[in-house]
Chains A and B, each alone.
Chain A
């Protein structure tokens, strides 16, 4: 069974600080996908990134960066120079290979509420 743990329930930072959101996952599959989604107060989920299990390269997109480490089953997300508009709930999610008939369903972590104060 797959599981995603986001141990940080809430994080509060001051604008311009860097912040890292942790994500630890469990899966028995060797092929899987990891995702991060952002949910602002308005409710919609915004797709941020997808990473497959064979690609451990870290990725940077503007102020966002992701660190994928299979050795520790972690897929952490860092926001550099945070801004008030980054305030949202961030979800890490996992989908396993479809070989088990999972249809690539997403399993979400419980989310981390990030508040960036001016």
Chain B
């Protein structure tokens, strides 16, 4: 149980393109989803917390207009990297959590998306 699917797993696109990444909880309802970014050989850095039906909460230093998050249903959150540039190239990984907004249940992670901007 607690399977999280992330799509696509790999994206290569030109600079200036907008890229959408989907995160789905397949066998549970996720009121809260999280988006992380991971540079090579580094730890996961939280970008934003996404609660279903409300605006995402972004971490300090993360541009809201650059990284658009939509959590329209209890099983789907999307991250759109707008006008992507080479410095946006990274590994993006989402997680989802059972229970409500204040749940202390473990986060279950998707397989990640490797984004390469040329």
Contact = CB atoms under 8 A, between A and B. Distances in A.
Interface of A: 33, 35, 37, 42-47, 50, 52, 91, 95, 98, 103-106, 108-111, 113
Given A98-B104, A111-B43, A105 B109 contact: no
Contact of B44 (A33, A47, A91, A104): A91
Interface of B: 32, 34, 41-44, 46, 49, 57, 91, 93, 95, 97, 101-104, 106-112, 114
B104 A44 contact: no
B104 A104 contact: yes
A46 to B, nearest CB: 8
A42 B108 CA distance: 16
B44 A108 contact: yes
A92 B19 CA distance: 30
30 contacts: A37-B109, A42-B111, A43-B91, A43-B114, A44-B93, A44-B110, A44-B112, A47-B106, A47-B108, A52-B104, A91-B43, A91-B44, A98-B102, A103-B49, A103-B57, A103-B102, A104-B97, A104-B104, A105-B34, A105-B46, A105-B49, A106-B34, A106-B44, A106-B46, A106-B107, A108-B44, A110-B42, A111-B42, A111-B43, A113-B41
